Structure 1
Amino acid sequence: KFVNVFLFFRYFQLKKKIKMDEAGSSNFRLNDPNFQNIILDILAENCSEVSDDVTDNMCIDSNHNSESEQNVSESDESETESNTDNDDDNRPSKFFYGKNKFKWSVEEFASKNTRTARHNIITKLPGLRGPIKKFGDTARPSEIWNILFTENIINEILVWTNIKIDSFRHKYKNLMQSFLKNVDEVELRSLFGLLFYSAVFKSNHENANTLFATDGTGREIFRRVMSKKRFLFLISCLRFDNSDTRTERKENDPLAPVSEIFIEFIENCKLNYSLSSCVTVDEMLVSFRGRCKFKMYIPNKPAKYGLKIMCLTDSRSHYLFNAYIYAGQNTDGLTLDHTEKKFSKPTQSVLRLSKPIQGTNRNVTVDNWFSSIELVELLKKKKLTYVGTLKKNKREIPQAFLPNKKSTVGFTQYGFTKDLTLLSYVPKPNKAVLLISSMHNQKGFDNDVQKPEIISYYNNTKGGVDALDEKCSVYSTGRRTRRWPLAIFYRLLDISSVNSYVLYNSFKNNETMTRADYLKSLAFELVSSELERRFENTCISREIRSGIGRILGKSKNLKDTPVHEDKLESRKTCRICPPKKKRKTIYQCKLCGDPICLECSRKICSNCFGN
């Protein structure tokens, strides 16, 4: 009756919004046997009126929760109490059993006096490898960056950007405006250099009007490299693929607008660096709030909305080694074989990212969203060890390892198999941290942090991807955009700055510098060729060229010129006089060298030369 009364009142709340087509529908009674079914059908119809035209603006909720501390639940408590009541003898058992009868030993399998386990021996040392070694013991920032952003990537962007410029140019009345011309490699690199400058100055979200301001408040380097119109025009025209075939390619590849340069960039990252003994697998969220069908909502991330990139990084240097963009269901298992695609999605993700390092005995550290006994055993077969937190709902976990109100702070419980070690640690009252490791096979305690060795190792290696994400955010090139391929490209620039800095520090004879100084050097080297070209271009205003000369160290000083200089060999037309006069002169400007008549010149004493 209570349910019927509730439904009856709910029916009258919706009556004004629903058109009652059936005769007698307003004469329902509470004791009608079909009352509940009729009202539930009406409620269902009313709540199901949702527009279908939202595919590009939909947002996928992420269930990735990396909270490592597990709370005590009522079910855990009741099961623990029942197990205690049913225990007839208090003799200690040598084994623990999970809900699925998975067997854990109380005693260790390995002797404490044995040497380093074979699965923990790394034969490949971290450092430089591949094409980047051609530079020897030292390399400039731009040379290193060009190894990651190769000429192939630059040319790919160049081709499709110029095609977009051609299509945009016809929308303007005056087609001869300078900012509408096609871009070349030198200018494209200078555009990337300005984006790196905006990252150093933390001006990536600053309005272009303030960056290019001429009242002394703007950034001088921006106006010297290109005009504001040209800067905004090039960013709006940046393209990374053939738009004519994009629709066809998107049927099999949702990431078609950016996939080619993304894949090539990741391959370049793999080729030029050898990882350390431990790597981290986790997700990275690229902030984006525009229209995209695989946009994610992750509430525990600072950006909350964005594009998810699954990453494998070096746990120490935070070098990005492998990554892929999550584009919806069934994209985690791409590049995997048929048997590997049968495993869970988190397992597929780790297998896909770890493929390049399989067989190297490195360790993989992940959070509890990925962790499972299935994954640990699979990686063990592929000669990779594993350390990660576990969720308490795994059926292999014994009841004694779950959070318990009776457990004291600091309580530690171990379980062993031949290849695995399970740890339960109580950091706070009513909480427990569960970890699984195939790297550790003995009990150990870290006296420095007063925690078990497995937890200490996990805490030291779990933040590889988060640290990379933080570095990308501190010096970010990302500007506000509604185009998700451009948001991904900005993040590639950020990652390239982090990776190239790691590579820079790996050279023996390179000068030590902070990351901010490194980014300034990289940005200047990228824009210097364009500055040289503009400095020689007499069509550009003298004020701009004078500023470029000062930046390049080529500005002329009046003190360096003699007080009396020989006249021109032949009379030439004054540069300043109106064309109608055609006034000839034998004098020239001391700074620019242009012919100038006495009427258009001003005398200055030698004491004022430097002022």
Structure 2
Amino acid sequence: MAAPEHLRRASAANAGSFLACASSDDGEDVEPQVEPWESDESVVEEVESETDDDREPYSEDNIVVSDDRSVSGSDSDDDDERISRPRVPARSRGSGRGGRGRRAIGGSRQNREQESDDSDEWREDWESVDRVDYSSRSGPTRVFAGEIDAITCFNLFFTEIVWQMLVINTNLNAVAKNAGQQGQRPWSPVSVEEMKTFFGLLILMGYMRFPRIKDYWQTSIPILKCCLSEVMNMTRFWQILRFFYVVDPANELSRDDPAYDKLQKVRPLIDLLQASFKTEYGLRREITIDEAMIPYKGRLGYKQYMKDKPTKWGIKVFILAEASTGYIYKFDIYTGKKATAGEHGLSTQIVLDLMEGMDGKGHILYTDNYYSSPTLFDLLWEKQIYCCGTVRPHRKEFPKQLRALPRKKDVHRGFYRYLSRRHLMACVWFDRRFVFFLSTAHAPRLEDGTIPTTKRKDGRNSVNLECPPLLEPYIANMRGVDRGDQMTALYNVGRRSKKPWRRIAFHLLEAAVLNAFIVERQLDPEREGAKRDFRSFRLELGVALVGNFSGKKRKGRKRQRPDKRLDASLPHLPISERKRGQCVCCSEKARKAKARKVTTGKNFRHEVYTRCTACDVHLCIAADRNCFHEYHTLSKF
């Protein structure tokens, strides 16, 4: 059966187009024209491996000029230049969501040349580079004569300035909220000694957790009979907790003010602790940056959710810590997107802010894939700060040759490949999955030119797998922040609260306690080992803060007053009234019988009309009982 006429015409047109590409007008053979996206196999593999979410839609704003220049949405200055839109292959025009097609694989000519230059810059060989040797002093900056205890190290961070600030602002807040007015419990100003006792009790409460604060004052629990209740009564503790404040209430700004700070309620404490953390300790060479979470589930604009953290919901804190000990050197509480995030993005700007003032010291910074990027590592290299960390393979300037990977089932465990660019080394390693690394602090091989190995489980057996030289240092030094979180989580002083600033303030207290413990262990060599743990340190610190303080009123002997009921000089005369009242003598007998759990079957309480004129109490005068006589003659009736 003959084909339809329109199909024959289309077939002839396609054949003519192919012949025109195969030969020129003068009969000479010409190579067929191949589009850039058809010749670059690595780019094709990369794009095919990407998900639809990673691909950018094709934009008509990018057009190519005949002299290899690219403009975006604007005409060229030279009117003679010929501007044309690049032809997009059919597969890149797919009908995506909302009618938006996928981006062209080749992109503009300038972008293709830039990608080619970046790929050519990465090489498989490695040239050693010179790095600055770390020579700064590490550890505590002060030297103490004599024995070091917990309270001495804690006072390095919670100085008298901090205590005075907390006391003054707490008393001002109590006055602003009319504490002790009519209908409320009497309020007395807090002193420095009492504020230290309050913080000491908070630390001791973290040592032994109860579901509610009032449970610590339960006298029915034998272990607590001579504990908190002997130091401060529950009413006074609740008062201090209620009116506790860090900033002067009169200096708070409204949300409409341009200078409003979301952390203004704790900003003075943050500034004081930040300064003391940096002046009292010198970091070692290996440092790390990671996030920590302050638990909070209330309503808050900058509350975050992190599925990989033990605390899923809360306030995120970016921390610069020492890798080996977990000492918190600097921190930044995340309060939302900032207008001045910088040209490099949020994650890069956070690292640059935390590393400010540490130039030229030769630190080695370990980060995870949230922060790592070639751009960041190049910026820190210029400041003589070296970096190492995992990286997301689609980061800008990451070598595309390392993205074109085989399938997992076709790769053996221990697969390792690296590329280098001047001082930067990028590599991929496969164990259970592909892991990508960047480093300016490590070479791709050992000094003798070999590749190290690491032990991994293979069923019941262990196997030695080839691995990058940076793997073991990264695993050992990336745990600094997590190590501190693990230590403070066991005995945390934080309590559930509707006020997020209070959770932040208690978290700062935990950071100071942790740093004090690290300082003590390094100042006292005998406590560097397992002889001194964090639990015993907290117990000693809490007891030292409480000291000899006692908020209980002294019990003295009551002043003996003469009992007028036994005074025979007074006119004790019985009179009869129209209104009845309970006999006080019978009521006292009934109370004593109930206390002795004596049941006689008789009603000891009687209502009578007789009242004593001198004592102004009702008393019985009857044939079977004479309470009037007993009341005025017997000392115990």
Q: TM tier, shorter chain?
A: 0.5 to 0.7
Aligned twin of 1:197: 204
Paired residue type of 1:157: L
Aligned twin of 1:540: 554
Residues in 1 aligned to 2:538 and 2:366: alpha-carbon distance in whole angstroms: 30
Summarize the Cα distance change of 1:495–1:446 in structure 2 as closer, same or farther, 3 Å threshold.
Answer: farther
The one of 277, 293, 296 equivalent to 1:269 is 277
Aligned twin of 2:242: 236
Residues in 2 aligned to 1:236 and 1:190: alpha-carbon distance in whole angstroms: 16
Residues in 2 aligned to 1:275 and 1:514: alpha-carbon distance in whole angstroms: 22
* 1:304, distance to aligned residue in structure 2 (A): 1.9
Aligned twin of 2:493: 477
- Kindly provide the CA deviation profile for residues 27-55 of structure 1, in whole angstroms up to 9, marking residues without a partner as x: xxxxxxxxxxxxxxxxxxxxxxxxxxxxx
Residues in 1 aligned to 2:469 and 2:526: alpha-carbon distance in whole angstroms: 36
- The percentage of counterpart residues that share the same residue type is 21
* 1:470, distance to aligned residue in structure 2 (A): 1.8
The one of 455, 467, 470 equivalent to 1:454 is 470
Paired residue type of 1:236: R
- Kindly provide the CA deviation profile for residues 62-120 of structure 1, in whole angstroms up to 9, marking residues without a partner as x: xxxxxxxxxx9982289xxxxxxxxxxxxxxxxxx87953621111212xxxxxx7525
Preserved contact between residue 318 and residue 464 of structure 1 (Cα < 8 Å):
yes
Summarize the Cα distance change of 1:364–1:107 in structure 2 as closer, same or farther, 3 Å threshold.
Answer: same
Aligned twin of 1:181: 188
The one of 128, 141, 154 equivalent to 2:140 is 128
**Residues 1:327 and 2:327 aligned together:** no
Preserved contact between residue 99 and residue 397 of structure 1 (Cα < 8 Å):
no
**Which secondary structure state, in structure 1, belongs to the residue aligned with residue 515 of structure 2?**
helix
**Which secondary structure state, in structure 2, belongs to the residue aligned with residue 478 of structure 1?**
coil
**Residues 1:76 and 2:49 aligned together:** yes
**Residues 1:301 and 2:283 aligned together:** no
Aligned twin of 1:440: 442
* 1:186, distance to aligned residue in structure 2 (A): 0.3
Preserved contact between residue 386 and residue 441 of structure 2 (Cα < 8 Å):
yes
Preserved contact between residue 332 and residue 352 of structure 1 (Cα < 8 Å):
no
Preserved contact between residue 517 and residue 534 of structure 2 (Cα < 8 Å):
yes
Residues in 1 aligned to 2:116 and 2:285: alpha-carbon distance in whole angstroms: 32
Paired residue type of 1:489: A
**Which secondary structure state, in structure 2, belongs to the residue aligned with residue 263 of structure 1?**
helix
Aligned twin of 1:104: 122
Residues in 1 aligned to 2:406 and 2:294: alpha-carbon distance in whole angstroms: 38
Segments of 5+ residues of structure 2 without an aligned counterpart are 1-44, 52-114, 456-464, 565-637
**Residues 1:222 and 2:228 aligned together:** yes
The one of 315, 319, 323 equivalent to 2:323 is 315
Preserved contact between residue 195 and residue 477 of structure 1 (Cα < 8 Å):
yes
Preserved contact between residue 310 and residue 325 of structure 1 (Cα < 8 Å):
yes
Aligned twin of 1:165: 174
Residues in 2 aligned to 1:419 and 1:454: alpha-carbon distance in whole angstroms: 15
Summarize the Cα distance change of 1:75–1:225 in structure 2 as closer, same or farther, 3 Å threshold.
Answer: farther
**Residues 1:522 and 2:538 aligned together:** no
TM-score under structure 2 length normalisation: 0.64
Segments of 5+ residues of structure 1 without an aligned counterpart are 1-71, 79-96, 111-116, 334-340, 543-574, 583-611
**Residues 1:260 and 2:274 aligned together:** no
Residues in 2 aligned to 1:332 and 1:410: alpha-carbon distance in whole angstroms: 43
Alignment of 1:324-363 (within 5 A): 324-330=332-338, 333=341, 341-363=342-364
Residues in 2 aligned to 1:275 and 1:107: alpha-carbon distance in whole angstroms: 34
Residues in 2 aligned to 1:580 and 1:121: alpha-carbon distance in whole angstroms: 88
**Which secondary structure state, in structure 1, belongs to the residue aligned with residue 357 of structure 2?**
helix
Summarize the Cα distance change of 1:461–1:314 in structure 2 as closer, same or farther, 3 Å threshold.
Answer: same
| Higher alpha-carbon Rg | 2
**Residues 1:412 and 2:428 aligned together:** no
Preserved contact between residue 376 and residue 385 of structure 1 (Cα < 8 Å):
yes
* Aligned CA-pair RMSD: 2.8
Residues in 2 aligned to 1:287 and 1:456: alpha-carbon distance in whole angstroms: 32
**Which secondary structure state, in structure 2, belongs to the residue aligned with residue 412 of structure 1?**
strand
Deviates more, 1:212-221 or 1:417-426: 212-221
- Kindly provide the CA deviation profile for residues 159-203 of structure 1, in whole angstroms up to 9, marking residues without a partner as x: 1111122234546436673xx211110010111101111122234
Residues in 2 aligned to 1:282 and 1:348: alpha-carbon distance in whole angstroms: 14
Summarize the Cα distance change of 1:208–1:373 in structure 2 as closer, same or farther, 3 Å threshold.
Answer: same
Preserved contact between residue 279 and residue 461 of structure 1 (Cα < 8 Å):
yes
Preserved contact between residue 332 and residue 345 of structure 1 (Cα < 8 Å):
no
Aligned twin of 1:155: 164
- Kindly provide the CA deviation profile for residues 131-168 of structure 1, in whole angstroms up to 9, marking residues without a partner as x: x33x2363221111111111112111111111122234
**Which secondary structure state, in structure 2, belongs to the residue aligned with residue 239 of structure 1?**
coil
Preserved contact between residue 280 and residue 312 of structure 1 (Cα < 8 Å):
yes
Aligned twin of 2:584: none
Paired residue type of 1:503: V
**Which secondary structure state, in structure 2, belongs to the residue aligned with residue 458 of structure 1?**
helix
Residues in 1 aligned to 2:116 and 2:205: alpha-carbon distance in whole angstroms: 55
Paired residue type of 1:417: R
Residues in 1 aligned to 2:563 and 2:536: alpha-carbon distance in whole angstroms: 53
Paired residue type of 2:440: S
Preserved contact between residue 211 and residue 218 of structure 1 (Cα < 8 Å):
no
**Which secondary structure state, in structure 1, belongs to the residue aligned with residue 156 of structure 2?**
helix
**Residues 1:491 and 2:507 aligned together:** yes
Residues in 2 aligned to 1:343 and 1:527: alpha-carbon distance in whole angstroms: 49
* 1:296, distance to aligned residue in structure 2 (A): 1.5
Summarize the Cα distance change of 1:229–1:423 in structure 2 as closer, same or farther, 3 Å threshold.
Answer: same
The one of 145, 149, 153 equivalent to 2:154 is 145
Q: Which has the higher contact order (CA 8 A, sep 6+)?
A: 1
Preserved contact between residue 99 and residue 396 of structure 1 (Cα < 8 Å):
no
Aligned twin of 1:35: none
Preserved contact between residue 444 and residue 469 of structure 2 (Cα < 8 Å):
no
Residues in 1 aligned to 2:434 and 2:340: alpha-carbon distance in whole angstroms: 30
Residues in 2 aligned to 1:251 and 1:467: alpha-carbon distance in whole angstroms: 39
* 1:320, distance to aligned residue in structure 2 (A): 0.2
Preserved contact between residue 118 and residue 399 of structure 2 (Cα < 8 Å):
no
Paired residue type of 1:404: P
Preserved contact between residue 320 and residue 330 of structure 2 (Cα < 8 Å):
yes
Residues in 1 aligned to 2:116 and 2:532: alpha-carbon distance in whole angstroms: 53
Residues in 2 aligned to 1:328 and 1:237: alpha-carbon distance in whole angstroms: 28
Paired residue type of 2:217: F
Aligned twin of 1:280: 288
The one of 409, 428, 452 equivalent to 1:424 is 428
Summarize the Cα distance change of 1:74–1:408 in structure 2 as closer, same or farther, 3 Å threshold.
Answer: farther
**Which secondary structure state, in structure 2, belongs to the residue aligned with residue 147 of structure 1?**
coil
